[in-house]
Amino acid sequence: MLDIDKIRRDFPILSTNIYGKPLIYVDNAATTQKPQAVIDSIVDLYSNSYANIHRGVHHLSQKSTGLYEESRVTVQNFIHAKSSKEIVFLRGATEAINLVASSYLEPLLTEGDEILLSEMEHHSNIIPWQMLAERLKAKLTIIPLLESGDLDMNSISGLLNPKVKILAITHMSNSLGTINELGPIIEQAHDRDIPVLIDGAQSVAHIPIDVQQLDCDFFVFSGHKVYGPTGIGVLYAKQQYLENMRPYQGGGDMILDVSFEKTEYNDIPYKFEAGTPNIEGAIALAAALNYISELDIAEIDRYERELLDYATAQFNAIDGLRIIGTAKNKGSIISFVLEGIHPHDVGTIMDMEGVAVRTGHHCTQPVMDCYNIPATTRVSLSFYNTKDEIDAIVKAIIKVKELMG
């Protein structure tokens, strides 16, 4: 069992007051708060170990390099990759998707080819593919959503035709909470020799991830959504793909030998890490993953599902509140609309009650279009949230109704 009181003490910001009321932070799908262990890892690096990596023979450079590469192994172990060579550090999931679009898919894509996405994708898993398709006269094809927030699984087989060159799909929807059953989807794609990219930006903080068991070809996530810092993220890719992909950017550290006539590129994963990297970001991300591992991600999943069930029951009891996304398998996200009240007004009033929610389209405008709504209010829960906080959120929603009714 998680010791929630102890966990909350690990997060300094949770003791903050907002407008004289205790902060209730439920905007975790946008970004998570940071435990003291993550904060300390950054301070310790800059205080005791900082230097540029991979290039120096002096003590500090060797020490920083060791910490950085240990962080790569930590990520490998956390997502159960086969090798640390399959872990590329980038700025976030968005850059990782752009890298795969540019370095893997662009050389293979021709006019009339297709890129298969789902209707629940975050804009970051739409726009890079859309830009590429426009340049090369390819097209996007879309797995449709059902009213429940589940994907239309019956449509997938027909959409996986010989023109499809990649399937890029979210593991967990940031606006609906839906956790997609990826095993059968990946199996169908691989039966047709179609590689699969998984957007794990939401799932990685909530459920156990095993990329070998999933058998996905690419998996991406951002550090700041998994209790680490901003500006750091991960691309996992099977080794054979990385070895055959062209570099994404040119510069220092991604080369072995340079002349004006020819450049020999570095081995993987360094071929994709041009320039001085986010050293402290990688090290702090490892601290975040170690923190989660100590708590046990399976126990986090159990507790958050308990919170979700409790919150769902409480929200469903509020007249005029409609939950958007009712899939049976959900992560700890509830998006809702209140009859006759714009989500921005909901969020503003709830903020005055100390409740930090997210309002808007959540970078999933196609999802909003599917439900014929402009926006929702989103409550996204973490293992540091409590049932008492959910009760306070319900009171805040009722206050919104009283003020705006």
Catalytic residues: 363
Cβ pair 196, 352 in contact under 8 A: no
Count CB-CB contacts under 10 A for residue 240. 10
DSSP lists the bridge partners of residue 257 as 264
Is residue 75 within 8 Å of 289, Cβ to Cβ? yes
In DSSP terms, which residues pair with 143 in a beta bridge?
A: 118
The CA distance from 366 to 188, in Å, is 25
Q: At 255, is the secondary structure helix, strand, or coil?
A: strand
What angle, rounded to 10 degrees, do the helices at 387-404 and 297-316 form?
30
- Partners of 330 in beta bridges: 178
Asked if residues 331 and 325 have their Cβ atoms less than 8 Å apart, the reply is: no
How far is residue 377's CA from residue 336's CA, in Å, rounded to a whole number? 5
Q: Which two three-digit tokens encode residue 346?
A: 């909901």
How far apart, in whole angstroms, are the C-alpha atoms of residue 347 and residue 337? 11
Q: How far apart are CA 325 and CA 336, in angstroms?
A: 8
Tokens found for residue 240 = 């054979």
Residue among 339, 387, 337 nearest 359 (CA):
337
In this structure, how many other beta carbons lie within 10 angstroms of the beta carbon of residue 246?
Answer: 12
SS3 361: coil
Q: In what order do the strands lie in the sheet with 218-222?
A: 87-90, 233-237, 218-222, 196-199, 164-170, 114-118, 139-143
Q: Which of 122, 145, 178 is nearest to 371 (CA)?
A: 145
Phi, psi of 325 (to 5 degrees): 105, 100
What the block records as the tokens of 278 is 């986010």
Cα–Cα nearest to 90, from 190, 287, 237: 237
Kindly list the distances between the CA atom of residue 384 and the CA atoms of 12, 127, 161, 377, in Å, as whole numbers in the listed order. Answer: 12, 33, 44, 20
